[in-house]
Amino acid sequence: MTNEWKSICAVADIPVLGSRRVQRAKGPQVALFRTADDQVFALLDRCPHRAGPLSQGIVFGKAVACPLHNWTIGLDTGCAREPDEGSTPTFTVRVEAGQVLLNQQELDTIAIDLQPVKAGPCTRAHC
């Protein structure tokens, strides 16, 4: 894996117990999460259940609750908590001098084959 790190934002730019989305050239966005003790985690912004936008969920402890069906996803592992099953990809995060950095190779390769989640009304042909 390459050692190229991309500066994304300042830790202060992510709300405490909140998130910020990172757009990528391909694939779904990445969600950055900040815990109450200022730890920063990155997950694909896609719940393993029904592709809900995790960035819109509620952060508590080291987990996020998906806004669609309330699945709890571990921020450190990307794994759904029991009784649910499944996982979403994680991204390596570095914090240096208050800046959040993500590994460029991971951004360019992890889950880029998945379609980004699109909001809007559902039609029979697309459901």
pLDDT in tens, 26-38: 889 999 999 999 9
**pLDDT, position 99:** 97
Residue 79, strand partner residues = 87
Average pLDDT, integer, range 36-55: 94
**Looking at the predicted structure, is the pLDDT value of residue 121 above 60?**
no
Average pLDDT, the chain: 90
Q: How much of the chain is helix, strand and coil, in % rounded to 5?
A: 10, 35, 55
CATH architecture observed for domain 5-126: 3-layer Sandwich (2.102)
Give tens-digit pLDDT for 51-66.
899 999 999 999 999 9
What is the C-alpha R_g of the chain? 14
**CA–CA distance, 22 with 103 (Å, rounded to integer):** 13
| Angle, CA 114 vertex, CA 25 and CA 108 arms, to 5° | 35
**CA–CA distance, 23 with 80 (Å, rounded to integer):** 23
H runs (alpha helix) in the chain: 104-109
Half-sphere CA count of 76, side-chain side, radius 13 A: 5
